[in-house]
Amino acid sequence: MRVGILSYPMLFQRDGGLQIQVRETIAALNRVMPRTPRSLQVQLVDANHGYLSDYDVIHVFSAINGNYRIVETACELGLPVVLSPLLSPGWNRAAAWRARLVDRLAGRLTDWMVQTSYAQSKRALQLASLVIALGEAERTAIIDGFGMEESKIRVFPNGINPHFFTANSDLFRRETGIDRPFVLMVGSISPYKNQLGLAQALAGSNLPVVLIGAAPRADQAYLQQLLALRHVSWLGPLDHADPLLASAFNAAAVAALPSQGEVFPLSVLEALAAGTPVVMTAQSALDLPASAFALRKVRWDDGQAQRLAIEQLVAQRPERAAVQALVEQFTWDRVASQIADCYFGLQAGAGSLTALAGRGRRRHAI
């Protein structure tokens, strides 16, 4: 079976959690050893030269940025579609009511020439054969915010690369000279990620803030505001596989992610895998049972609560092995095996539909 992976065209022009998720998912899926006589080949679709009809199943990552059109085209060809929508857990019935109202107003004002991203995401969800949520909070958001039936939603989390579990602080200490407790924040430098709010909250706390992440051109002024604070240092962007990144997670006293919203943040999982406690935004789909001793959730705009949670974790740091145990089950190979079973199940159930669409497929470009 051939599976084609797609997302929006500009996805890999930057690097972040979604890019890592897509790359690691593909790599792990291609390591899956299907039961004979099943075979599995998974690859990114070249949207400029390839055809959706060359694949048996299409897997689309992200329900926004016009990706509903990919889902529509695949459905027209009779192909099963798996959708990983990556929706904010903030979607609920009230938010959905407001979004539908705005969509109707926009349509009437423009003679239905304008469609909101909410409407596009909902169409992608409705057409998809199977929807994969990263956690229970996203699953609830899909049901309450978009009216999806529970039966076609599966919950599979992200995975964690094994080297984060075995990292140590030596490389980071040697490269940076930082040998005291510090707070680490990994992510793109932007007001949405809220590095400045974190830094201001920790002013005078005797806890340096170390930032890792790319700074887009539009946010250079924001970066300069950060660097003007004496307790803030920036290491720039690091490749996800760079040993210095894993070492930084291990060396930190606390990792922080007080952004305005996250779905299932890899940086939090990686920090926990390195044995480092985390203070993160409450606006997230990540939910780990019995994790309060090492994972604190606070409002993104409550600097006082962020500082208090960080200082408490620094003062009473949990045992590293106990922190790592929270995420030991999150492996890319385990997730890939579950996703692969979904692919084969969809292929088996779509046989007649695929045959019906077969004759004219190769005339359809992406």
Is there a single domain that holds both residue 137 and residue 239?
A: no
Q: Which two tokens stand for residue 232?
A: 């803030």
CATH of the domain at 12: 3.40.50.2000
Is there a single domain that holds both residue 304 and residue 206?
A: yes
Task: Give CA separation, 58 vs 29, 74, 117, 180, 344, in Å.
Answer: 14, 7, 21, 48, 12
pLDDT, tens only, 135-149: 888 999 999 999 999
CB 223 within 8 A of CB 189: yes
Global pTM? Answer: 0.83
Q: Considering just the CA atoms, what is the radius of gyration of the chain in Å?
A: 22
- In which domain, by residue range, is 222 found? 162-325
Is there a single domain that holds both residue 196 and residue 139?
A: no
Gap between the Cα atoms of 25 and 264, Å rounded: 15
Which pLDDT score is estimated for 350? 62
Which pLDDT score is estimated for 38? 77
Gap between the Cα atoms of 212 and 179, Å rounded: 17
The DSSP 8-state label assigned to residue 157 in this structure reads -
Helix runs in the chain, H state only: 17-29, 68-76, 93-109, 117-127, 136-146, 170-176, 195-201, 220-227, 243-251, 266-273, 303-315, 320-325, 332-349, 351-357
Q: Which two tokens stand for residue 262?
A: 């996250």
Which pLDDT score is estimated for 336? 94
Which pLDDT score is estimated for 15? 78
Is there a single domain that holds both residue 9 and residue 145?
A: yes
Which pLDDT score is estimated for 358? 42
Which pLDDT score is estimated for 61? 96
Gap between the Cα atoms of 322 and 318, Å rounded: 7
Is there a single domain that holds both residue 213 and residue 123?
A: no
CB 237 within 8 A of CB 213: yes
The tens place of each residue's pLDDT in the chain, 366 residues long, gives 999 999 998 888 877 888 999 999 999 999 987 765 678 999 999 888 889 999 999 999 999 999 999 999 999 999 999 999 999 888 999 999 999 999 999 999 999 898 899 999 999 999 999 999 998 889 999 999 999 999 999 999 999 999 999 999 999 999 999 999 999 999 999 999 999 999 999 999 999 999 999 999 999 999 999 999 999 999 999 999 999 999 999 999 999 999 998 888 999 999 999 999 999 999 888 889 999 999 999 999 999 999 999 999 999 999 999 999 999 999 999 999 999 999 999 988 764 334 334 434 444 444
- The tally of domains found in the chain comes to 2
Is there a single domain that holds both residue 83 and residue 31?
A: yes
pLDDT, tens only, 151-191: 999 999 999 999 999 999 999 999 999 999 999 999 999 99
DSSP strand pairing (254-257 vs 209-212): unpaired
What 3-state class would DSSP assign to 184?
Answer: strand
Q: Which two tokens stand for residue 135?
A: 């956690």
Is there a single domain that holds both residue 224 and residue 187?
A: yes
Gap between the Cα atoms of 262 and 86, Å rounded: 9
Is there a single domain that holds both residue 45 and residue 94?
A: yes
Which pLDDT score is estimated for 11? 87
Is there a single domain that holds both residue 170 and residue 284?
A: yes
Is there a single domain that holds both residue 257 and residue 219?
A: yes
Which pLDDT score is estimated for 353? 39
CB 341 within 8 A of CB 291: no
The DSSP 8-state label assigned to residue 163 in this structure reads G
Is there a single domain that holds both residue 60 and residue 144?
A: yes
CB 79 within 8 A of CB 57: yes
What 3-state class would DSSP assign to 266?
Answer: helix
> What are the residues whose beta carbons fall under 8 Å from the beta carbon of 118, sequence distance 6 or more?
96, 99, 100, 102, 103
Is there a single domain that holds both residue 100 and residue 190?
A: no
Which pLDDT score is estimated for 90? 85
> What are the residues whose beta carbons fall under 8 Å from the beta carbon of 65, sequence distance 6 or more?
7, 8
CB 94 within 8 A of CB 145: no
DSSP H or E segment with residue 164: none
